[in-house]
Structure 1
Amino acid sequence: MEIRHLVTFRKVAALLSFTRAAEELSYAQSSVTSQIRALETSLGAELFDRLGGRIRLTPAGEKLLEYAEQILELVEAARADVAGGDGPSGTLVIGTMESITSYRMPPLLEFFHHRYPKVQLSLRPSLCADTRHALRQGTFDIGFLLEQETRHPGLESVVLAEEPLVLVAAPGHPLARRSELSRADLRSVSVLATEAGCAYRDLFEAELRDVASAPFLEFGTIEAIKKGVASGLGISLLPTVTVAAELDKGEMTALPWEAPFSVFTQLAWRGGRRLSRESQLFVDQATRLMREDAPRGAPA
């Protein structure tokens, strides 16, 4: 049983795909297949059921996965301890989202670039539900979440801050002249939003759902939403940090409506396993820098 075979097995088990595992490991698919077969031969057991074009772990494969996780964690810990003088290194796969990547992470990315140049941060854009799934499967090492819930089965997490939200419109929008707004007012106009699955979008949509309302127009990215709002196409509920510059310049205006719900920026990782030195370093520094950058009065 070779360590590299266990690494390949863990990746195939996480992705349930020989093809995708080969791509992520930079192997030929035939090499992945031969390594899994060699592992099965050495153990005398089938590790995957091949069902047409799909695979799944056998009971033996599920047992091996538990041992493989422990073995590889010990290998990583030993490597880090023995080679500690070289400093942190390797790749961290991080699930994130546009509002975090563009508006919260730059100081953290700059810190790692200058202080730990051997640590490569691989950022993967992902909706929160997909990030949670990828963390449980071991595809992501760490993930940022922006959600109302702060407890996640199978994961450990830390709340970095409550993320303030603001309802914005162009200065010339009809609602911009109102001193207060009701839900009926909000239902009468177009709402520009990110795709379904974004926590604050889903909560806002649920708030307006009980009576027929104008449809939510999905613009895909926050930058596209901001341009649509500034041109008068509709209103949008967004994290305050993403529109702070536009509000300061007068390109948008904050509407007099406060969301009856809260969402929290969080950092999460798979529960029940020891973080690698590099992952722990990322968690520690992200917590420090993002809490320092949190809006005054927001809980840390």
Structure 2
Amino acid sequence: MSSPSLRQLDIFAQMVAAGSAARCAQDLGLDLGEVLDGIAALEMRLGYRLFDDPAGAARLTPAGRKTAQAMMQLGSDTPSPAGAATAEAPDSPAPPPPAEPPREGIILAAPAPIFGHFQDALAAFEAANDDIAISIDLHVHSARDAATALARGRADIAYFYALEEPAEPPSRYGWSEPLNLYAGSGHRLARAEMVGRDDIAATPLLAMEPHNGMRQIVDAALARARLPFDAPALESDNMFEIMAALRDGAGCFAAFGPLARDLGRMSGIRRLALDMPLPAIEIRQAVGADAARKPAVDALAEFLFL
């Protein structure tokens, strides 16, 4: 997954393996505060909680379990080697348990914040359809990502970001999320009653890393709005680093979705009052071409869409 930093993913993986923040900190040679800050920064980037009580028992939330499976393929059992000896084998081996009927698998591809939007609906759908197993792919961000995943059978349903309806893949509009600019509350632009293009021209931009799927759609939206930003003064997927730079008055930062919501609640950070609208980010749904032959895929697509 390209969105979080490798350090955050390393902390998350070790936290899952260790079962507690204290043990995770010991294993990684970090302070407990660094581990908790890393998990908090990752949750902020994803837009949903990964652990219940991360400083205590550190139980994975349902979304956290799905994320662990999607990111690191956790929980796969390693089969015993063929012919491995067993201690005190019984004279008459017990009959094997009856095989469970196979579960139909559905792969949902979506950016992590969109998965966070659907996590309760996915849990409800699986609870009502115990013969269906839903797996998550968090790598898809753009229309190109979605088209590739659907064409190669790596996804049955794909959600992606766009500024308008793309030619490929065929998709339908789900909803839009406004794009906003944020600065530290002491920044001159944050104190202005109205901010225009000329004001922004002299302001450094803070941004996520270039490979980040959210960065790419934000860059496209800013270019469409004809905002005259130079090369970013800071590029980081560590949101604590971005927030610290904003509060220090280092520049402004563009965000949408759950990340924008969380930034708007942070002390010392303020949304800029722009005198021009920024393009909204569309969230679109695409379904594989063979979905008509998979009633469960079509049912889940409609369930999520409604």
TM-score normalised according to structure 2 size: 0.55
Contact 2:112/2:138 (<8 A) preserved: no
Take 1:250 and 1:281, find their aligned partners in 2: how far apart are those partners? Answer: 42
Change (3 A) 1:149 1:192: same
Change (3 A) 1:174 1:147: same
**Structure 2 counterpart of 1:142, from 150, 157, 165:** 157
Aligned to 2:129: 116
Aligned partner letter, 1:173: H
C-alpha deviation, 1:96, in angstroms: 1.4
**Structure 1 counterpart of 2:234, from 210, 214, 217:** 217
SS at match of 1:156: coil
Aligned to 1:264: 282
SS at match of 2:190: helix
Take 2:249 and 2:122, find their aligned partners in 1: how far apart are those partners? Answer: 34
Change (3 A) 1:240 1:223: farther
**Structure 1 counterpart of 2:217, from 199, 202, 205:** 199
Aligned partner letter, 2:181: L
Take 2:244 and 2:105, find their aligned partners in 1: how far apart are those partners? Answer: 35
Take 2:234 and 2:224, find their aligned partners in 1: how far apart are those partners? Answer: 15
Aligned to 2:294: 276
Aligned to 1:56: none
Query: What 5-or-longer segments of structure 2 have no aligned partner?
Result: 1-72, 77-100
Aligned to 1:106: 119
Query: What does 1:57-76 align with in structure 2 at a 5 Å threshold?
Result: none
C-alpha deviation, 1:273, in angstroms: 5.3
Contact 2:108/2:134 (<8 A) preserved: no
Take 2:167 and 2:134, find their aligned partners in 1: how far apart are those partners? Answer: 27
Provide, for residues 60-87 of structure 1, a one-character-per-residue CA deviation record: whole Å limited to 9, x for no partner: xxxxxxxxxxxxxxxxxxxxxxxxxx8x
Take 1:137 and 1:152, find their aligned partners in 2: how far apart are those partners? Answer: 18
Query: What 5-or-longer segments of structure 1 have no aligned partner?
Result: 1-22, 27-85, 289-300
Query: What does 1:148-167 align with in structure 2 at a 5 Å threshold?
Result: 148-153=163-168, 155-167=169-181
Change (3 A) 1:98 1:156: same
C-alpha deviation, 1:287, in angstroms: 0.8
Take 1:141 and 1:235, find their aligned partners in 2: how far apart are those partners? Answer: 38
Aligned to 2:63: none
Take 2:232 and 2:133, find their aligned partners in 1: how far apart are those partners? Answer: 44
Contact 1:166/1:240 (<8 A) preserved: no
What's the C-alpha RMSD, in Å, of the aligned pairs?
Answer: 3.2
Change (3 A) 1:113 1:252: farther
C-alpha deviation, 1:262, in angstroms: 2.6
C-alpha deviation, 1:239, in angstroms: 1.1
- Aligned residue pairs total 201
**Structure 1 counterpart of 2:258, from 226, 241, 247:** 241
C-alpha deviation, 1:207, in angstroms: 3.9
Contact 1:89/1:116 (<8 A) preserved: no
SS at match of 1:247: helix
TM-score normalised according to structure 1 size: 0.56
Aligned partner letter, 2:303: Q
Contact 1:99/1:222 (<8 A) preserved: no
Change (3 A) 1:112 1:233: farther
Aligned to 1:186: 200
Change (3 A) 1:113 1:173: farther
Identity, % of aligned positions? 18
Higher helix share: 1
Take 1:245 and 1:281, find their aligned partners in 2: how far apart are those partners? Answer: 32
C-alpha deviation, 1:256, in angstroms: 0.7
Aligned partner letter, 1:190: P
Take 1:105 and 1:111, find their aligned partners in 2: how far apart are those partners? Answer: 10
Aligned to 2:45: none
Take 1:236 and 1:230, find their aligned partners in 2: how far apart are those partners? Answer: 11
